[in-house]
Amino acid sequence: MSNKEIPYKIYLEEDEMPKAWYNLRADMKNKPAPLLNPATHQPMTAEELSVVFCEELVQQEIDDTTAFFEIPEEIRDFYKMYRPSPLVRAYCLEKALDTPAKIYYKFEGNNTSGSHKLNSAIAQAYYAKKQGLKGVTTETGAGQWGTALSMACSYFGLDCKVYMVKVSYEQKPFRREVMRTYGASVTPSPSMETEVGKKILAAHPGTTGSLGCAISEAVEKATQSEGYRYVLGSVLNQVLLHQSVIGLETKTALDKYGEKADIIIGCAGGGSNLGGLISPFMGQKIKGEADYRIIAVEPASCPSFTRGKYAYDFCDTGMVCPLSKMYTLGSDFIPAPNHAGGLRYHGMSSTLSQLYDDGLMEAVSVKQTDVFEAAEKFARIEGILPAPESAHAIKVAIDEALKCKENNEEKTIVFGLTGTGYFDMMAYEKFHDGKMENYIPTDEEINESLAKLPKMD
Amino acid sequence: MSNKEIPYKIYLEEDEMPKAWYNLRADMKNKPAPLLNPATHQPMTAEELSVVFCEELVQQEIDDTTAFFEIPEEIRDFYKMYRPSPLVRAYCLEKALDTPAKIYYKFEGNNTSGSHKLNSAIAQAYYAKKQGLKGVTTETGAGQWGTALSMACSYFGLDCKVYMVKVSYEQKPFRREVMRTYGASVTPSPSMETEVGKKILAAHPGTTGSLGCAISEAVEKATQSEGYRYVLGSVLNQVLLHQSVIGLETKTALDKYGEKADIIIGCAGGGSNLGGLISPFMGQKIKGEADYRIIAVEPASCPSFTRGKYAYDFCDTGMVCPLSKMYTLGSDFIPAPNHAGGLRYHGMSSTLSQLYDDGLMEAVSVKQTDVFEAAEKFARIEGILPAPESAHAIKVAIDEALKCKENNEEKTIVFGLTGTGYFDMMAYEKFHDGKMENYIPTDEEINESLAKLPKMD
């Protein structure tokens, strides 16, 4: 099929949307390492995990043999309100770059949460409701995950309690108001509502909080409240499972037009978007059915893959959560104030970590100013104003398209455009005013943090 | 075709998108009154209008006999980046209201400008480029139009100069940054850049500006600068012409599924969205091919249709623009600070005014707090966080759906959801905090302003 016949945006029909999530772990030869109990260093049992998470989500978390999980009809109905998301052929970008490469991006920003986070939020809210819970707790930094969860809980009539890092609560009042519009209660963290919050406030009066602290408060609240569980928007296997809808739709859309990706690119913080986007392609690659170059893009300020270590570590800075084997900079690593809040995480999904360790994917890190330069260029050419996180993938997609031009290669590049940047304009303002900095940690900083990794037997 | 077969979102194929704009005036029996020269009270000639507007746009402005204008390929290509917009079947809202009515909305918010304004911005930028101009000037209040024009100018490599009402410039820095991302220069108005700006600042030091003042500055800048013209995002016939894509797509989508609208609802400020949405339906109604109830919704704080007068008036408060015959509250009327900035205009499109005067459409006004109540309800049920402007239509659509429930009538309601409310969260915050007021002008206020209408021969 010739290029001319491929529309600017490929929308699948409703009946072409996935009816099951794909569990990539089922096809992995080397399975991701299990979560460990931080006290005993033994694999967490379903029973132990059920104190924190909903029961069905625990099953999804630990199951590494079932390849497909049927998407319940209620969730599929919700998906139909904002999905399928378009797979966009970036004709204008191709022309502007004068590249023989074909560029596609899967755009997940056309919903009120402004990102792909809603794909997992609605699933987690559904299972909480099904279990008869009253509500869920979570933390949020920049606010995309909190917004997505608020929307999902509102839909199923669940109570939603969000601990929002205090500095974001104050600097991003609009995000907070979106969550309130969906009926969520939003508490600046640290707060006086939890023991851990009180303790932190006593030790550090006037602290503006951190994601690690907000996680600790949300977990405490969930485990101490009757009928509540804790939910998380990234890193976990269950989240990658739900996010497989991104990759499944992408693959169906490409197949429909006889297109085959050569390079697949996604930004990576905890790994929810990248893990979802690549899942069906990586499955083929593992089974030897097709080959793809798969590239994870991370900020130079928080380079878990490119400069971290593959080891068991805590998922949170409070060290209360289970241990996960992952590429990590150490749970003690404090990422610099990069504007891509969603990529400011010390670790990485254990599934992606194993794939990277097995040499099945590449990783690159990029500087913040280069990312915003790419973001602005993209906005002007393709119309969409990207979130800083998404712009990491844009930067590398443009680089790869320019390499194709240099080598006169007609490759097909697919990248994930996770969301929009409407709530990130303060960062764009800094960029426009020439006040944006590049933070790159020193080897000493990283080594210091890695020295504190938990000692394993 | 049964309901079950209608998807949540109807997306047309690219080749089903309109190839020509529909000029409703060609089918109107009573044509809208022409613009008059404010000095001579004679109809403005094309030559006179060409000082301010691009030549082809002047032709579109005055032509009331040509039914279709071909959409140039360059504009159609741009449309393909963000159109077709979905016609959404509001299954969840229908269920929540427990109404036998079928509810559809045409959602124009899935683009970075966040509204339908881009449909005309790209057309106006195209003709400016085609005429070999260097750039265009405009004013913006809340910032949706300014953002749309910035995107359009960036695409065609035109300079874009936006005068932004000073109070918005300061209170909505994010909108300003979006425009800067697209390369526009944004000046707080009144400014020292124009004679009229200097004069106003001398008379009212410390003023926070007004839309009327910003229009005057933009017009002065355009007419005093070599290679510049002024462009406007609403009210004008040319704008309604471009916005006909909304209605044409809506009709094609309904026809495709064998659906027929009974009631069509849109919010009305200057009339750009409503005029575009209703155009093909109104054309049928005029020709007796089909009947529809068509409802314009305006804020109770700025009720041009429901409490204004049909008369010649100035389009701007500076009284430098041509006279237009329209439903007006008087160019001297200062609308209260309602949060739907896009509906805070003293007049109304002359086309819609004539249709309303001919009894071809209805109008209702609604209170601000009722609008936000509907907006929040809609956000929770349908997922999309609406702009305050759009929520006016939502409010009346819900009212009509509840009437259908009362009377057990299975009517089909179609309304225009013009855009998203991501940059309006301060208004939502006021609503959540119970601090939102309802402003309703007194008869004395309106009469005082109407007494100052220009005296016609």
Decide if A156 touches B, using CB distance below 8 A: no
Note the pTM of the prediction, 2 decimals.
0.95
Chain B interface includes A422 (CB < 8 A): yes
> Model confidence over A138-150: pLDDT tens digits?
999 889 999 999 9
pLDDT at B191 > cutoff 60: yes
The shortest CB-CB distance from A428 to any of B11, B111, B181 is to B181
Q: Does B371 touch chain A (CB under 8 A)?
A: no
Q: Report chain B's terminal Cα–Cα distance, integer Å.
A: 57
Cβ of B380 within 8 Å of Cβ of A111? The answer is no
Q: Give the span between the Cα atoms of B49 and A15, in whole angstroms.
A: 52
ipTM for the complex shown: 0.94
**What pLDDT is recorded for position B340?**
81
DSSP E strand stretches across A308-435:
309-314, 323-328, 362-366, 412-417
> Chain A residues with CB inside 8 Å of B426's CB?
174, 177
Quote the distance between the C-alpha of residue A407 and its chain's center.
33
Q: How far B357 CA sits from the closest chain A CA (Å)?
A: 38
| Residue numbers in B near A8 (CB within 8 A) | 14, 80-81
Q: How far apart are CA A191 and CA A198, in angstroms?
A: 7
| Cβ pairs A/B, distance under 8 A | 109
pLDDT tens digit sequence for A420-444: 999 899 999 999 999 999 999 999 9
Averaged pLDDT of chain A: 94
Mean pLDDT computed over A156-171: 92
The model's pLDDT over B156-183, given as tens digits with 9 standing for 90+, comes to 999 999 999 898 888 788 899 999 999 9
Whether A379 and chain B come into contact, CB under 8 Å, resolves to yes
Residue A309 forms beta bridges with which residues? A328
Q: Which of A411-415, A439-443, B67-71, B339-343 has the lowest mean pLDDT?
A: B339-343
Chain A interface test: which of B174, B249, B257, B435 (most A C-beta within 10 Å):
B174
Distance from CA of B88 to the nearest CA of A (A): 8
Question: pLDDT by residue (tens digit) across B390-433?
Answer: 999 999 999 999 999 999 999 999 999 999 999 899 999 999 99
Q: What count of residues does chain B have?
A: 457
Using CB atoms, which residue from A14, A174, A432 is nearest to B177? A432
CB count, 10 Å around CB of A349?
A: 27
* Contact residues, chain B, for A110 at CB < 8 Å: 110
Give residue-wise pLDDT tens across range B46-68: 999 999 999 999 999 999 999 99
Rounded CA-CA distance B209/B216 in Å is 11
Residue B360 has pLDDT above 80, yes or no: yes
Interval A32-66: pLDDT, tens = 999 999 999 999 999 999 999 999 999 999 999 99
Q: Is the pLDDT of residue B268 over 60?
A: yes
Paired tokens of B272: 């750009």
Instruction: Kindly state the average pLDDT of the residues A403-427.
Output: 96
CA gap B383, A25 in Å, rounded:
32
Residue whose C-alpha is closest to residue A331's, from A47, A38, A76, A22: A38
Pick from B103, B390, B420, B425 the residue to mutate for testing the A interface (most A CBs within 10 Å). B425
**Backbone angles phi and psi of B10, in degrees to 5:** -95, 115
From A219-223, A391-395, B118-122, B202-206, the region with the lowest mean pLDDT? B202-206
Q: Write out pLDDT tens, residues A317-368.
A: 767 788 999 999 998 887 777 788 788 888 999 999 999 999 999 999 999 9
* pLDDT over 50 (residue B2): no
Q: Which of B13, B173, B379 sits opposite A181 (nearest CB)?
A: B379
Nearest-angstrom CA–CA distance, A264 and A311: 26
Total length of chain A: 457
Q: What is the mean pLDDT of residues A65-85?
A: 97
Say which of B181, B380, B382 has its CB closest to residue A385: B181
Nearest residue of chain A to residue B80 (CA atoms):
A8
Chain-chain contact of A385 with B178 (C-beta, under 8 angstroms): yes
- CB contact B422 to A (< 8 Å): yes
Q: Does B126 lie at the interface with A, CB-CB under 8 angstroms?
A: no
Per-residue model confidence (pLDDT) at position A1: 43
Contact call for B181 and A155, based on CB within 8 A: no
Taking contacts as CB-CB distances below 8 angstroms, the residues of chain B near A151 are 383
pLDDT at position B1 is 43
Contacting B residues, span 231-290, partner chain A, CB-CB under 8 Å: none
Cβ B380–A183 below 8 Å, yes or no? yes
> Which residues, numbered 63 to 82 in chain B, qualify as contacts with chain A under a Cβ-Cβ cut-off of 8 Å?
77, 80-82
From the list A155, A178, A379, the residue facing B181 with the nearest CB is: A379
Q: What is the pLDDT of residue A339?
A: 83
pLDDT for position B235: 92
Using a CB–CB cutoff of 8 Å, tell me whether B426 touches chain A. Answer: yes
| CA-based nearest residue in chain B for residue A81 | B8
Tell me the mean pLDDT in the region A173-188. 94
Checking if the pLDDT of B293 tops 50, the result is yes
How many Å lie between the alpha carbon of A160 and the closest alpha carbon of chain B? 13
* For range A148-176, the mean pLDDT: 93
CB A112 to CB B8 under 8 A?
no
Whether A9 and chain B come into contact, CB under 8 Å, resolves to yes
* pLDDT above 90 for A171: no
Q: Which residue has the tokens 């933070």?
A: A439
Mean pLDDT, residues B74-97 taken together: 97
Residue B8 has pLDDT above 50, yes or no: yes
How many angstroms separate the CA atoms of B146 and A381, rounded?
18
pLDDT at residue A396 greater than cutoff 50: yes
A455 Cα to chain B: minimum distance (Å): 46
Mean of per-residue pLDDT scores for chain B: 94
Q: Given CB atoms, is A144 within the 8 Å cutoff of chain B?
A: no
Residue B206: which pLDDT band, with cuts at 50, 70 and 90?
confident
pLDDT of residue A2: 44
Give the Cα separation of B239 and B228 in Å (integer).
19
pLDDT band, residue A79 (cuts 50/70/90): very high
